[in-house]
Amino acid sequence: MSRSIASPKRGFSLKPYLFLLPMLAFAVGFVYYPFLKTCLQSVSTVNFRGEITGFSGLDNFQYLFSRREFSIALENTVKLMVINVPVTVVVTLALAWLCSNPHPLHSVYETMLSLPMVVSMASISLIFKVLLNPSVGWLNYAFGLNIGWYEDRHTAMSGILLLTVWMGIGFNFLLFLSAFRALPKDMLGSAALDGAGKFRTLLQIQLPLISPTVLYVVCTNMIQAMMTNGPILILTQGGPSRSTTTLIYLMYTSGYASSNYSLAAAVSMAAFGLTLLFSILLFMAEKRKVHYQ
Amino acid sequence: MKIKAREGFLGALAVLLGCLVLFPLFYGVMGAFKSPAEFVAWPPTVFPRSFGYLKNFETVFTQLPMLRYFWNTLVVSVFSTVIKLVIALLAAYAFVFFDFAGKKALFFLLLGTMMLPPDTLTITNYQTVSHLGLLDTYLGIGIVSFVGASQMFMLRQHFLSSPKPIREAAQMDGCGDLRFIAFILTPMSLPLLLTLFLQAFVIQWNAYLWPLLVTNTNEMRTVQIGITMLTTVEGTNYETVLAGAAVALIPAVLLFLFLRKSITRTMSGGAIVG
């Protein structure tokens, strides 16, 4: 590492390792060790106490992939990701763009639009549960809808999506807002002088310049969508008739509720592999398009 | 004149959209003041008949030991955030002020923890914590969040920008590493540390899945789990559930409203790291 302000001293010293020790210990103990153990358990037979009793090759995966439960969970998870990510990006990008100009009210609407980031998943899930309730909730009544939301297998996922998009607003809005604000003012000014309209400036100048932030938001939201489990646990328990079972929810039910650890490990490896695959694809696709300043 | 009118319109539009986004929260808080009869009455309303009906809040605290849950969550959030920051600060100190073999590899090993989503590790971490006998303990709830790679990274960036002679001068005066960290580096980084503390605190306060897994007894639950238990105690009392959701929101939302600038300050910086 070239960037360091260490004093050039010769000789071996144990000191820096001691300072690193606590963080290394916890990183190994609670991140790398469980990861390796998950890898290992996914190719082993594991008893109910979580002890590995033998090597089973790809049996767990074969069993997993042959189960209808898994293909449903996979489909639901991908569906969630494919809808949630673009919607979140477009909504928060539009909000941030709208708010990026200086305005006397800016701290008011910035506070309002970024507040969702401190709202707990449990609280907002419960509020949505009531708001979208077909008999006592206000939403159906106000818009004259007749939708069962979380109680109907055709609409439960839409209800979950509504909620996950809402939960993503605050943080992503803030990221896009600071990306817009960091753009050099004179560049936008000269674009305006050249007669470029607001939308042309956005599409041809601002968006390419903030593309690293866009890529970051797409990546983090993709992983988050892939990991969706909290609202499912609270609102639908994967139902009705498995319509909202996601991969991590499946991992939770097979690992924690039924102590089938090898199956849970296989599900979690599948979720991890998918995340990795999508990230790699995304980076390959964006490699030439993203503009790093 | 024309520009001013448009600016005014955009500002109003932004505030309107803000109201739209916050509507579910508003609806939840309003609903917490409704009586059961108001809730089942047709047509559904947003506003309660009056704000004098406080029984739902009372129920939240009597149906479950909610005060105890608040205390549990506060203890876990404070101590695990403090430990997380101390650990991150020590590591950042090593990376900035020392040269040693394997520095680069160790640095990326620690940053690499951000690549593994914690949710995929919960089942195996549960086994570890269970073997350590830490189920139903504060330590068991907090221990998986002690590694703060992004906090370490941001502290490192901050230290790198500090003037080099400070530590040399301190060493010359016979000031050891720990004293340097405690009396010079920490006070120097206080605004950043406060920001990092608030962010991590709010995340820990809102945590759900992990605390749910590692707590089995009724007294050890956290607030977030407590409020979801209100639905199962005696059927679904929508008004009680909303009162619980509203109460659980108070600490994080208050912190945010008063300290928004410091909570959000390092966000964009952290985003670049990933």
DSSP code per residue over A225-292: HHT--HHIIIIITT-STTTT--HHHHHHIIIIIS--HHHHHHHHHHHHHHHHHHHHHHHHHHTTT---
pLDDT for the residue A1: 46
pLDDT for the residue B272: 46
Question: Which chain A residues touch B126 with a CB distance below 8 Å?
Answer: 255-256
pLDDT for the residue A57: 82
Q: Which tens digit of pLDDT belongs to each residue from A206-261?
A: 888 888 888 888 888 988 898 888 899 999 988 788 889 999 898 888 887 777 88
Q: Tokens for A139, please give them.
A: 């939403």
Identify which has the larger pLDDT, A106 or A194: A106
Q: Which residue among B46, B96, B227 places its CB closest to the CB of A126?
A: B227
Contact: B252, A256; criterion CB under 8 Å: no
pLDDT for the residue A194: 72
**One-letter amino acid of A79:** K
Q: Which residue among B144, B164, B245 places its CB closest to the CB of A127?
A: B245
- Please list the residues that pair with A45 across neighbouring strands: A54
The number of C-beta contacts closer than 8 angstroms across A and B is 306
Contact: B252, A120; criterion CB under 8 Å: yes
- Can you tell me whether residue A45 is helix, strand or coil? strand
pLDDT for the residue A3: 53
Half-sphere exposure of B88 (CA within 13 A, CB side): 30
Q: Which tens digit of pLDDT belongs to each residue from B193-240?
A: 988 898 899 899 999 999 998 998 888 999 999 998 887 555 668 888
**Segment A116-137 mean pLDDT:** 91
Residue to test with chain B: of A5, A42, A276, A283, most B Cβ within 10 A: A5
**Segment A269-286 mean pLDDT:** 84
A105 — phi, psi (to 5°)? -90, 10
Q: Which tens digit of pLDDT belongs to each residue from A24-71?
A: 999 999 999 999 999 998 888 888 877 888 888 888 888 888 888 899
Q: Tokens for A44, please give them.
A: 């082993």
CA–CA separation, A23 and B148 (whole Å): 8
Contact: B224, A171; criterion CB under 8 Å: no
Residue A45 resides in a domain: no
Whether A187 and A146 have beta carbons less than 8 Å apart is answered as no
B137 min Cα distance to partner chain A (Å) = 17
Residue A202 resides in a domain: yes
User: Is the whole-model pTM more than 0.95?
Assistant: no
Half-sphere exposure of A158 (CA within 13 A, CB side): 9
B60 min Cα distance to partner chain A (Å) = 13
Question: Which chain B residues touch A212 with a CB distance below 8 Å?
Answer: 272
Residue A86 resides in a domain: yes
pLDDT for the residue A284: 80
What CATH code is assigned to B32-273? 1.10.3720.10
Angle between helices A121-131 and B238-264 (to 10 degrees): 140
Identify which has the larger pLDDT, A120 or B54: A120
Q: One digit per residue, pLDDT tens: chain B, 274 residues?
A: 556 777 778 888 999 999 999 999 999 999 899 888 888 887 888 888 888 888 888 888 888 889 999 999 999 999 999 999 999 999 999 999 888 999 999 999 999 898 888 888 988 899 899 999 999 999 999 999 999 998 999 899 888 887 667 777 777 777 788 888 888 888 888 888 988 898 899 899 999 999 998 998 888 999 999 998 887 555 668 888 899 999 999 988 998 888 887 777 766 554 444 3
- Kind plus residue range of the DSSP H or E element containing A55: strand A52-55
Residue to test with chain B: of A17, A21, A24, A30, most B Cβ within 10 A: A30
Chain B residue whose CA is closest to A269: B120
Question: Which chain A residues touch B152 with a CB distance below 8 Å?
Answer: 23
A6 min Cα distance to partner chain B (Å) = 4
pLDDT for the residue A53: 82
- Report how far apart the first and last C-alpha atoms of chain A are (Å, whole number): 22
> CB neighbours of B47 closer than 8 A, spacing ≥ 6?
B30
CA–CA separation, A224 and A236 (whole Å): 18
Residue to test with chain A: of B13, B123, B175, B237, most A Cβ within 10 A: B123
Q: Which tens digit of pLDDT belongs to each residue from A172-213?
A: 998 898 888 888 777 777 776 676 677 777 777 788 888 888
pLDDT for the residue B273: 42
Contact: B123, A256; criterion CB under 8 Å: yes
Domain residue ranges in chain B: 32-273
Residue A187 resides in a domain: yes
Whether B102 and B111 have beta carbons less than 8 Å apart is answered as no
Contact: A136, B100; criterion CB under 8 Å: no
**What is the value of ipTM here, to two decimals?**
0.87
* Total length of chain A: 293
Chain B residue whose CA is closest to A94: B14
Other C-beta atoms lying within 10 Å of the C-beta of residue A86: 12
Residue A293 resides in a domain: no
Looking at every residue in chain A, the average pLDDT score rounds to 85
Contact: B99, A6; criterion CB under 8 Å: yes
Chain B residue whose CA is closest to A178: B268
Residue A172 resides in a domain: yes
Contact: B146, A26; criterion CB under 8 Å: yes
CATH code of residue A156: 1.10.3720.10
CA–CA separation, B138 and A44 (whole Å): 32
Question: Which chain B residues touch A29 with a CB distance below 8 Å?
Answer: 128
Whether A123 and B253 have beta carbons less than 8 Å apart is answered as no
Question: Closest Cα partner for A127 from B41, B56, B244, B145?
Answer: B244
B260 min Cα distance to partner chain A (Å) = 7
pLDDT for the residue B266: 67
Residue A41 resides in a domain: no
Question: Which domain range does residue A149 map to?
Answer: 77-261
Q: Is the dihedral of CA A169, A279, B85, B79 positive or negative?
A: positive
Residue A25 resides in a domain: no
